Structure 1
Amino acid sequence: MSDEESYELLGFDNVLLPVGDLDEAVRFYERAGFAVGFRLDEAGIALLKVGGEMPGILLRHEETLAHRPPPWLHPRVWLEVPDARAAARVLGEAGIVPLDEPFSVTTGWTVEIADPWGNVIGFTDYSKRRELGRRP
């Protein structure tokens, strides 16, 4: 590739998740602690904020998508939180059942949830490797 044809990866724009019902998806993710950055019903999209970063999780309405369990060999999006085990408790109190109990990873703890369309979101902390995590 020549310099004129090359490109540079600058960072994430958004992570797109297909959902079968935008209203239901927004309610689910609000219960999970996400704030809606914007919503464009005419385009069938809603952006969920992730921390102070500009990119977020973009929910995209797909008419033919029905509720389904998460496929286990499926991409997952993990988001950093201060305490994953506390996140699991808060999610449970909001009526969102984690896929499993919080589990230990090299950097700390992680808990995963699935939305009604099988999209898996993980909440992970850096409690074992604080020097690698973000500073709240």
Structure 2
Amino acid sequence: MSDDESYELLGFDHVLLPVGDLDEAVGFYERAGFPVGFRLDEAGIVLLKVGGETPGILLRHEEGLGCRPPAWPSARMWLEVPDARLAAEALESAGIGLLDGPFSSATGWTVEFADPWGNVVGLTDYTKRPQLGRRP
């Protein structure tokens, strides 16, 4: 693509996660602390809000997906939180098992968990380098 044909990336619209059951997915993500922005059952989608931003996580019902991790490695989506170690405690208190962490990173701490369909979510903080985070 030449320079005169290029386009500008403005930011994220939504991150889409396939799920096998909307009710089960909403219950799981609500336990994990994700508020529902809206739900359109006729379209098979639910929007989970992420902070004060308009884009969010879009759960989309996929027929036949079932309740199992996919047979392929999942992409990882990480979201910023003020304190990943506190987030890990809250997840475990809600009965959500951790895949990894909390572990130390260059910017702070991170914890990962997976939903029943194998979608991996990481919660990371910038406690070691707050100038890079959303709340310096």
TM range (shorter): over 0.9
- Say yes or no: does 1:44 pair with 2:37: no
Q: Is the 8 A contact 2:45 2:61 kept in 1?
A: yes
Judged with a 3 Å threshold, the aligned counterparts in structure 2 of structure 1 residues 70 and 100 are, in CA distance, closer, same or farther, namely farther
Judged with a 3 Å threshold, the aligned counterparts in structure 2 of structure 1 residues 134 and 53 are, in CA distance, closer, same or farther, namely same
Gaps of 5+ in 1: none
1:69 aligns with 69
Distance in 2 between residues matched to 1:72 and 1:21, nearest whole Å: 20
Judged with a 3 Å threshold, the aligned counterparts in structure 2 of structure 1 residues 70 and 110 are, in CA distance, closer, same or farther, namely farther
Percent identity, aligned pairs only?
77
Distance in 2 between residues matched to 1:104 and 1:68, nearest whole Å: 29
Q: Is the 8 A contact 2:18 2:61 kept in 1?
A: yes
- Say yes or no: does 1:92 pair with 2:124: no
Q: Is the 8 A contact 1:20 1:61 kept in 2?
A: yes
Q: Is the 8 A contact 1:70 1:120 kept in 2?
A: no
Q: CA RMSD in A?
A: 1.6
User: Partner letter of residue 79 of structure 1?
Assistant: L
User: Partner letter of residue 54 of structure 2?
Assistant: M
2:128 aligns with 128
User: What per-residue deviation string (whole Å, max 9, x for no partner) do you get for residues 17-73 of structure 1?
Assistant: 000000000000000000000000000000000000010000000011022236684
Which consecutive aligned stretches of 4+ in structure 1 deviate over 4 angstroms post-superposition? Answer: none
Distance in 2 between residues matched to 1:72 and 1:122, nearest whole Å: 18
Distance in 2 between residues matched to 1:71 and 1:86, nearest whole Å: 31
Instruction: Summarize the alignment of residues 1-136 of structure 1 with structure 2, pairs less than 5 Å apart.
Output: 1=2, 3=4, 5-69=5-69, 73-135=73-135
Gaps of 5+ in 2: none
Distance in 2 between residues matched to 1:72 and 1:123, nearest whole Å: 22
Distance in 1 between residues matched to 2:108 and 2:58, nearest whole Å: 27
Quick check: 111-120 or 59-68, which moved more? Answer: 59-68
* Count of matched residue pairs: 135
